[in-house]
Copies of this chain bind each other. A is one copy, B any other.
């Protein structure tokens, strides 16, 4: 709520402008709810991803009055206009994060504590180009997720059972 680093404010402003433009172009209405959802998502600290229900409850606990349905609708719209990214990590429900906040990055999900880390390795772009050319597709987006066991000694919250498959 008060965690507004200058950098963030600037990025949020950019995001709002893009949303303005998109709503204008598509003849959609500039409702308070759409901007609140955008703002709330852009206030997420780096490495944090949020699901609809949590976002809804978080907003309800603040000054906002918003319904679950509207959170779903707004967030979909934000994904459509490219301001928010949706992730479908294995065995989790959909998680969202702001798209403009940081450079493009991919994700590493810890098999043990289920925490999500972000990483960036530019050579994925080369693979995209190579594959796109070879199969005749103009690749627009990608999703790259690694699943690994962290090498941290006593990874605090081992939510998975010990049953390892081999």
Contacts and interface: CB of A to CB of B under 8 A. Distances in A.
A145 B127 CA distance: 11
Interface stretch (A33-41, A49-57, A58-66, A115-123): A115-123
A147 B141 contact: yes
Query: Main secondary structure on chain A at its contact with chain B?
Result: mixed
A62 to B, nearest CB: 29
A108 B163 contact: no
Contacts of A132: 146, 148
Given A121-B127, A121-B130, A165-B81, A139 B135 contact: no
Contacts of A131: 108, 119, 121, 146
Contacts of A26: 163
11 contacts: A82-B165, A88-B89, A88-B90, A121-B127, A123-B126, A128-B146, A132-B148, A136-B150, A137-B148, A139-B148, A140-B147
Given A123-B123, A140-B148, 4 more contacts: A117-B137, A131-B146, A141-B146, A143-B145
